Amino acid sequence: MRTNSLRLPRIALACTLSAFTAFGPATAGAADLSSILFVNPLPKYPAWRLIGDCVANRAKELNIPTTESGPTTGNLDATVMIQQIQQGIANKAGAILTFPATAGFVPLLQQAGKAGITVGTFYGASGTESGSNVNIGANFTRVGEIFVEAIAKREGPQHVGLMAQGPSGAAKAFVDGFTAAAAKTQNVTVSAVVYTNDDASKALDQANALLTAHPEVNVIASHMGTATQGGTAAIKSKGLTGKVVFVANGTAGGGEQGLADGTVYKLMLQDLCTAGTKMVDSVAAIAHGEAVQPQIDVGVRMFDASDYKEYLAKGWQ
């Protein structure tokens, strides 16, 4: 799941198109939906890779030609994503699926809709989903509340530093939901919020800065899986294992390891494969003229070391 002040490199459109990965053509005329383009924000990151694979598998079952594109650097690059969506509009894709990383995606997705393209968004929030026909993902306001519920069960005052993607979209929903829920508890307060633009390479520096500026922090929590490795590394490097814990999103990027070594208190898992499958079903239904729910929430739960493994086999991550 990023924003912050985006100073993203502009990459030639011709180069971005070479990053497209086709999942294979379908039988001609086998589906009313002509094609799907999935602009994946983080094609190499395990959670988004799982969503992409489940989109591709379901589309193949329905004989819908599907192409995936996305930034190739391993970091979210909104400029590249926007260029690829623009190309999808020009190519008259039947449906465009993406994560609307910033509010800047909304007018472009609305343009796609006006061109007769069905639009599906993953994890749109705080208005970024408004350009879509269907939005699927965790309700990140509720995710913030779930995080607080888990942290509030710890003994004593819990001074939390939040690591978020940026000040809009899903990140804003998470921070707002967390802050409001914390205010209703007796022991959870928010000390500070830092932003990484969902860039794993920035997580360590931001976590170190957070712990240095706010020595009272004894919990770091993030809705981003990309923050886990840097956050737990900062805890270890400062000798704070056992004194500061991390509450993570997913097992990837150090989440599972953190449960084992004690740096991660709990982690959130989501029913991601179902999200990808339901998205394809939804845009296909729209192409058939059927009504679909505009907002579909995926399953979300908090886990500790004792109970998470059985859900990994079910497509949760």
Residue-wise pLDDT tens digits, 114-171:
999 999 999 988 788 889 999 998 888 999 999 999 999 999 999 999 999 999 888 9
In a domain, 250, yes or no: yes
Residues 128 and 276 in one domain: yes
Helices (H), the chain: 13-17, 46-61, 78-90, 105-114, 140-152, 169-182, 200-213, 228-237, 255-261, 272-287, 309-312
Residues 132 and 275 in one domain: yes
In a domain, 3, yes or no: no
In this model, does residue 31 exceed pLDDT 60? Answer: no
In a domain, 125, yes or no: yes
Q: Residue 71's pLDDT is what?
A: 95
Instruction: Give bridge partners of residue 248 from the DSSP assignment.
Output: 267
Is 46 exposed, middle or buried (CB count within 10 Å of its CB: 0-12, 13-18, 19+)?
middle
Average pLDDT, the chain: 89
Q: How far is CA 175 from the centre of its chain?
A: 14
Q: Residue 61's pLDDT is what?
A: 98
Owning domain of residue 123: 13-138+271-299
Residues 234 and 123 in one domain: no
Q: Residue 127's pLDDT is what?
A: 83
Instruction: Give bridge partners of residue 301 from the DSSP assignment.
Output: 269
Q: What are the pLDDT digits (tens) for 191-227? A: 999 999 999 999 999 999 999 999 999 999 999 999 9
Question: What gap in Å lies between CA 228 and CA 287, rounded to an integer?
Answer: 39
The structure's pTM equals: 0.77
Residues 239 and 155 in one domain: yes
In a domain, 184, yes or no: yes
In a domain, 294, yes or no: yes
Residues 146 and 213 in one domain: yes
Residues 30 and 56 in one domain: yes
Residues 281 and 172 in one domain: no
Contact in structure between 2 and 165 (CB atoms under 8 Å): yes
Residues 282 and 251 in one domain: no
* 165 vs 18: which has the higher pLDDT: 165
Place of tokens 């990459």: 11
In a domain, 2, yes or no: no
Q: Residue 114's pLDDT is what?
A: 97
In a domain, 208, yes or no: yes
What does the H/E/C string look like for 150-167?
HHHCCCCCEEEEEEECCC
Q: What are the pLDDT digits (tens) for 261-313? A: 999 999 999 999 999 999 999 999 999 999 999 999 998 999 999 999 989 88
Q: What are the pLDDT digits (tens) for 239-266? A: 999 999 999 999 988 999 999 999 999 9
Residues 75 and 120 in one domain: yes
CATH of the domain at 56: 3.40.50.2300
In a domain, 182, yes or no: yes
Residues 277 and 289 in one domain: yes
Residues 144 and 223 in one domain: yes
Residues 180 and 239 in one domain: yes
Is 97 exposed, middle or buried (CB count within 10 Å of its CB: 0-12, 13-18, 19+)?
buried
Instruction: Give bridge partners of residue 192 from the DSSP assignment.
Output: 161
Q: How many domains are there within the chain?
A: 2
